[in-house]
Amino acid sequence: MIGAVLRGEEEAKKWFNGVMKQKEAASYLGISVYKIRKLREENKIPYSQIFKNIYFHKTILDAWKMNKFPNGRVELVLDDESINFAHEKALKEHYKRYPELAKEKEALNKKNKPLLNNDSEIDYQVKNNGVELVIGSNHAIKTSIFLSNKAIIEMYNDINKN
């Protein structure tokens, strides 16, 4: 079960501090290795898993002890391009658990829609400091263009002058 999904390198730097294996984490928490293994298997403690390796992070465990971090596996998604099938499944499970995040995601998807129809080869994504246009398809070369907010305002003003 997914407990938390961390997005981006900054979130990873914030939370993934003091990496420990099970034995070290058990010692840090003052419990047995058997107990920490059982907590992890029952998704009652936050942990990270890379292939078969299980990791715990001091910062996350400290927050968890104060009930400020959810139980379960911690997933890291660096960027949207790196989301593979396993991450999609994990995110769907995460959104079921936290429906308010699903509403935010849905609002973002409405904001970032194709410019033409569903077969469009032009998409855009609104960001804090501008708009990213993606031109192309999966079957051809894709090109990304970033327009700053200032450039968009200038274009808008030029269009309205005519």
* pLDDT tens per residue across span 76-128: 776 655 555 455 666 676 677 767 766 776 666 655 555 555 555 777 777 77
Rounded average pLDDT over 134-160:
77
Using the structure block, give the residue that is written with the tokens 């992890």.
40
2 or 32, which is more confident: 32
Q: Which residues of 47-76 are buried (b: 16+ CB within 10 A; e: fewer)?
A: bbeeeeebbbbbebbebbeeeebbbbbbbb
Predicted confidence at residue 88, as pLDDT, reads: 62
Predicted confidence at residue 31, as pLDDT, reads: 94
Q: Global pTM?
A: 0.49
Which parts of the chain are beta strand (E)?
Answer: 2-7, 19-20, 46-50, 53-57, 72-77, 122-127, 130-135, 143-148
Cβ 43 vs Cβ 49: under 8 Å: no
Rounded average pLDDT over 39-59:
89
Task: Give 10-39 pLDDT, tens digit per residue.
Answer: 777 788 888 899 999 999 999 999 999 999
Rounded average pLDDT over 1-9:
71
Which of the given ranges, 5-19, 38-52, 144-158, has the highest pLDDT on average?
Answer: 38-52
Predicted confidence at residue 90, as pLDDT, reads: 64
> Rounded distance, CA 46 to CA 61, Å?
7
Predicted confidence at residue 50, as pLDDT, reads: 82
Rounded average pLDDT over 40-64:
90
